[in-house]
Amino acid sequence: MRILSGIQPSGSLHIGNYFAMIKRMIEFQNDNELLCFIANYHALTTVYDASTLRSRTLDAAMDFLALGLDPDKAIFWVQSDIPEVQELAWLLSNVTGMGLLERAHSYKDKIAKGISPNHGLFAYPVLMAADILLYGCDKVPVGKDQKQHVEIARDLALRFNSTYGETFVIPEADIESTIATIPGTDGQKMSKSYGNTIDIFADEKKLRQSVMSIKTDSTPVDEPKPTDGNPLFEIYSLFLDSEGKEELRQRFETPGLRYGDVKKELFEVIWNYFSQARNNRKKYENDMQYVYDVLKKGAEKAREIASYYLDKARHNVGLDYKFTSK
């Protein structure tokens, strides 16, 4: 099965990125054909400094490798190294209704938060659809909040196939039912834009500060603590198996638990969980040529797949005029 996953180089990776996508992605690479890319074209909707985009792109590459992405098992590249994706986005634009884009959650949410709209933001779902359809993937692992983007890609693939003939594989969203939306330190979805993340590669002091800042309620120590909608409980649960989660739930429901003590525990859990990844990352920082080589080879492999589907799309819409016989 061919599986595609991508992430924007929006700064340091946080545990929301890891549990919603990266952890599952790394597990997928063992038994599937995994394609993974760094979505630096998408980042242009929010990043307007060239040096920042360059550094974040390389940081994301090192982060992925440090966390266990194996270039011998997966195809790993940077989005902008495959120019075919932009041409496909244009072809898909011609079967995309305005209403579909106006209903996109990502667009409406950003407008509601006061972010000035532009074409890149509005057409974001079309480029994402091109990312998905260009590689003939069967499944796209996403968080619950990203499900609509895969649905849009499916819709555009069906419209394109109906209009021009069979061209694209119809992808499916793959959502981990037990991990849909991961809360940040303030209880909202964990996101850089909200400033509520717990960064994987933060230094010890910064990580401790982030964990200790997790929002909790004012339930007295001698009363049971809520678990539903409790960011501290939900974040801690990410690092536990089913038995561990049940034990944590019982602790929360037993009078006497102190949130501060749980936060201190959680810091130690997170720090130890990512210790090997921190060591791996230092290794890649000292061998950037290896990172460049991995991305170059990955782009070459990805482009072979992309060329097949783009050539098929170009033929079906009639752009290959040179080969038309009267």
- Distance CA(107)–CA(93), nearest Å, equals 16
**Dihedral sign from CA coordinates of 231, 273, 252, 207:** negative
182 is in an annotated binding site: yes
Strand (E) or helix (H) holding 150? helix 147-164
280 marked as binding residue: no
- Relative to beta strand 74-78, strand 139-141 is unpaired
The SS3 assignment for 42 reads helix
Counting every residue, how long is the chain? 326
User: Is 17 marked as binding a ligand?
Assistant: yes
Q: Is 144 annotated as a binding residue?
A: yes
Count Cβ atoms below 10 Å from residue 35 Cβ, excluding itself.
25
Tell whether residue 80 is among the known ligand binding residues.
Answer: no
Q: Tell me: is residue 118 an annotated ligand-binding position.
A: no
Kindly state the DSSP code that residue 193 receives in the 8-state scheme. Answer: G
Write out the catalytic residue numbers: 110, 189, 192
Instruction: Name the token pair of 183.
Output: 């809360």
| H/E stretch holding 272 | helix 259-273
Question: Is 9 labelled as part of a ligand binding site?
Answer: yes
Q: What tokens were used for 60?
A: 């994301």
Does 145 carry a binding-site annotation?
yes
Residue 190 annotated as lining a ligand binding site: yes
To the question of whether residue 143 is assigned a binding role by annotation, the answer is yes
Annotated binding site for L-tryptophan: 131
Annotated binding site for ATP: 8-10, 16-17, 143-145, 182, 189-193
Annotated binding site: 8-10, 16-17, 131, 143-145, 182, 189-193
